């Protein structure tokens, strides 16, 4: 894996190359013009993690470059891993870059904070909060807590200490993010070590696009699979009569429920359930307390939103969502999106198609697709 080389002067060219690649990948589909949503060309990631490298009396942040080594007669090829020192990281938010040298100075000045410190994880927000997790290969004691609390106060941040079977939360285990979408502000609790969209500015654009493609749906309902902490749920609630969202992660479900309350959303319900179990519940083949709490008989679903992991949807899930009139598919992997669209376009046409440049200067991008069921 290569560390992104951020060169803002070439941003437009790298985005154009991504658009060309996506256009070629989906050339076999009848797609409308690609809607392009760019990113800030630098300092776009609100969360990052680094190894802390110890070398003699020095410590520094590090990442690893992994490259293939040409095979020789004696082997079939191998990976070469090299350590790259990072004093600044232009991929990361300005808040992370400001904290990096200050934390390093604190580690150099304190054996208690530095000793067997293995990894440093940053979670920052557009709203100005910073949470830093320090991961150790040793138990954390009262001396560590005293110095870590002093560091919190000195830098105006929050700190969590982690080691084997130990997690010390000094202030709180989350930050509050504020995203602005189409003139409205939404607040989100983002919990340490849980998934959140890393590029907040592009996330705002994704939410705005999703609002736009689902506008005018207030008389019917939305079902959302893989809802995470309610990122889309909250932004789309006003577009529908009711929303039913499902998520398998216990932490994400708890955070989503807090976020619904924080944004005064009263027409959405988040259920802890896998997409597979939810499909069975819809067929009447799964029962129990969680199914009963959903009260499925009261919904009139017109639209399904899916935001699956990189593996995309399996064939059974594609068959399930093809029963809805409209499908909003958010994809973090265009390759598996193309595979899924080969199935979904048997029943639906592609009405809108967007590219979101979540990860500049890498090969990765996210796509959004609105599909409308063919008239019978």
**What does the pLDDT look like over 319-371, one tens digit per residue?**
989 999 999 999 999 999 999 999 999 999 999 999 999 999 998 999 999 99
The predicted structure's pLDDT at residue 79: 72
In sequence order, which residues have a C-beta less than 8 Å from that of residue 69 and are 6 or more positions away?
Answer: 77, 78, 79, 80
pLDDT in tens, 176-198: 999 999 999 999 999 998 888 89
pTM over 0.85, yes/no: yes
Burial class (CB in 10 A: 0-12, 13-18, 19+), 160: buried
* 204-255 pLDDT tens trace: 999 999 999 999 878 899 999 989 999 999 999 999 999 999 999 999 999 9
Residue 267 falls in which region: left (phi positive, over 0), alpha (psi -120 to 50) or beta: alpha
Which residue among 48, 332, 365, 367 is the active-site one?
Answer: 332
Q: How confident is the model at residue 163 (pLDDT cuts 50, 70, 90)?
A: very high
pLDDT of 68 reads 63
pLDDT tens profile 252-296: 999 999 999 999 999 999 998 887 788 787 777 777 787 787 778
Instruction: Give yes or no: 332 in active site.
Output: yes
Is 366 assigned a catalytic role?
A: yes
Give long-range contacts, CB 8 A cutoff, 24+ apart: 149-152. 151/103, 151/106, 151/113
Partners of 353 in the beta sheet? Answer: 369
The per-residue pLDDT for 75 is 58
Q: Is the per-residue pLDDT at 92 higher than 90? A: yes
| Selection from 49, 130, 125 nearest residue 86 by Cα | 49
- Contact between 312 and 341 (Cβ < 8 Å): no
């Amino acid at each position: 894996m290569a560390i992104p080389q951020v060169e803002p002067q070439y941003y437009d060219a790298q985005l154009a190359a991504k658009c060309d690649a996506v256009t070629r990948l989906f050339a076999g589909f009848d797609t409308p013009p690609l809607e392009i949503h760019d990113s800030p060309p630098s300092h776009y990631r609100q969360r990052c993690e680094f190894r802390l490298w110890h070398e003699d009396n020095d410590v520094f942040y590090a990442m690893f470059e992994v490259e293939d080594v040409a095979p020789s007669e004696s082997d079939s090829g191998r990976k070469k891993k090299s350590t790259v020192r990072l004093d600044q990281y232009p991929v990361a938010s300005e808040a992370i870059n400001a904290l990096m040298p200050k934390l390093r100075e604190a580690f150099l000045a304190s054996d208690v904070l530095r000793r067997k410190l293995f990894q440093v994880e940053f979670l920052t927000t557009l709203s100005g909060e910073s949470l830093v997790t320090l991961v150790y290969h040793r138990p954390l004691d009262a001396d560590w807590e005293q110095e870590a609390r002093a560091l919190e106060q000195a830098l105006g941040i929050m700190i969590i200490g982690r080691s084997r079977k130990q997690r010390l939360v000094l202030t709180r285990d989350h930050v509050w993010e504020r995203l602005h979408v189409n003139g409205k502000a939404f607040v989100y609790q983002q919990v340490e070590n849980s998934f959140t969209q890393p590029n907040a500015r592009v996330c705002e654009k994704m939410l705005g696009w999703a609002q736009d493609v689902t506008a005018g749906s207030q008389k019917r309902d939305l079902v959302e699979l893989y809802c995470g902490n309610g990122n889309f749920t909250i932004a789309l609630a006003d577009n529908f009569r009711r929303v039913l969202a499902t998520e398998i992660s216990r932490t994400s479900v708890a955070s989503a429920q807090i976020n619904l309350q924080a944004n005064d959303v009263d027409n959405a319900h988040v259920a802890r359930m896998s997409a597979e179990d939810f499909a069975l519940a819809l067929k009447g083949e799964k029962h129990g307390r969680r199914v009963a709490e959903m009260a499925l008989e009261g919904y009139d679903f017109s639209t399904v939103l899916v935001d699956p992991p990189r593996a995309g949807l399996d064939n059974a899930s594609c068959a399930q969502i093809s029963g809805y009139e409209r499908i909003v598919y958010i994809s973090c992997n265009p390759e598996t999106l193309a595979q899924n669209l080969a199935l979904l376009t048997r029943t639906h046409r592609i009405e809108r198609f967007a590219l979101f440049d979540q990860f500049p200067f890498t090969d990765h991008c996210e796509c959004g697709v609105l599909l409308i069921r063919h008239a019978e």
